[in-house]
């Protein structure tokens, strides 16, 4: 058993892959995840202590002070900026090495890119046609600014009570809410776009593991435009780089 003490904040495919790597390397790890949905993908890993809980910066400070980890690894979603800032601040305050896992990304010529949700919404306000929204539940309130959003927007969300409740509170049409867990194939995405006669698909910039290419190909198949919200610029490691880094430390 390795003597490293590592804390990982997960919730992404990259976080799951890193947890699997640490498990195989026999490194005892505290893995923090925010939802039951994320729990199901890592619950059977050896050497991984899973804590399903959200922490604010003050709670992180107390935890890091008590545990004195050797490394803090941030594998949270690239759009969860406040969480990442809290993790980095608490790590620095306790003089613990902070490592960020980034997703690989590239520009796809078949997509339109926007720097933020507001720019994308402003674009959609002056367009006509149905929209398949696959960017999660956090920014659903912003899309209600679009005229006839209750008719035009079809929301695809994870089958979680909190996400469905948010849709209902924002008065999205119940017939336009798709609760479904991925991954989604090109064929399934194509079928959904055709079924709702979508002219646009909205997604966050993602890695290949996040199903991004399948969405792009489905849009090409149906003639829908793929609108992509760029992720914030980050400095860090890819999943391959961080695994290599720890392998070198184990030798």
Residues 142 and 55 placed together within one structural domain of the fold: no
Q: What are phi and psi of 104, to 5 degrees?
A: -70, 145
Q: What is the mean pLDDT of residues 85-97?
A: 95
Pair (21, 40) in one structural domain: yes
pLDDT-based confidence at residue 231 (cuts at 50, 70, 90): confident
Q: Are residues 184 and 217 in the same domain?
A: yes
Average pLDDT (161-182) is 94
Residue of 144, 147, 130, 150 whose CA lies nearest to 202? 130
Are 195 and 132 part of one and the same domain? yes
Is 0.85 topped by the overall pTM?
no
Q: Supply the pLDDT for residue 210.
A: 66
Beta bridge partners of 74: 9, 100
Same domain, residue pair 159 and 245: no
The least confident of 64-68, 105-109, 132-136, 227-231 is 105-109
pLDDT of residue 4: 81
Residues 161 and 78 grouped into a single domain: no
Question: How many domains would you assign to the chain?
Answer: 2
Q: What is the pLDDT of residue 46?
A: 86
What whole-number distance in Å separates Cα of residue 237 and Cα of residue 25?
Answer: 19
Full domain range(s) for residue 66:
2-103+233-250
Same domain, 216 and 244: no
Residues 211 and 195 in one domain: yes
């Amino acid at each position: 058993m390795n003597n490293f003490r590592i804390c990982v904040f997960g919730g992404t495919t990259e976080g799951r892959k890193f947890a699997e790597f640490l498990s195989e390397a026999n490194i005892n790890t505290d893995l923090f995840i925010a939802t039951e949905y994320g729990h199901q993908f890592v619950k059977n890993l050896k050497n991984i202590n899973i804590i399903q809980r959200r922490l604010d910066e003050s709670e992180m400070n107390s935890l890091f002070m008590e545990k004195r980890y050797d490394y803090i690894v941030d594998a949270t979603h690239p759009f969860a900026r406040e969480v990442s800032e809290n993790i980095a601040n608490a790590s620095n305050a306790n003089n613990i090495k902070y490592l960020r896992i980034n997703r690989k990304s590239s520009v796809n010529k078949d997509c339109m890119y926007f720097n933020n949700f507001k720019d994308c919404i402003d674009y959609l306000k002056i367009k006509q046609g149905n929209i398949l929204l696959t960017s999660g539940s956090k920014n659903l309130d912003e899309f209600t600014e679009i005229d006839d959003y209750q008719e035009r927007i079809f929301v695809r969300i994870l089958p979680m009570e909190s996400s469905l409740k948010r849709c209902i509170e924002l008065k999205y049409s119940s017939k336009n809410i798709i609760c479904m867990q991925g991954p989604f194939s090109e064929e399934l995405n194509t079928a959904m776009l055709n079924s709702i006669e979508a002219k646009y698909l909205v997604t966050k910039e993602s890695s290949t593991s996040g199903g991004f290419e399948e969405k792009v190909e489905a849009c090409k198949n149906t003639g829908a435009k793929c609108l992509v919200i760029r992720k914030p610029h980050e400095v860090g490691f890819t999943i391959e780089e961080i695994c290599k880094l720890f392998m070198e430390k184990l030798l």
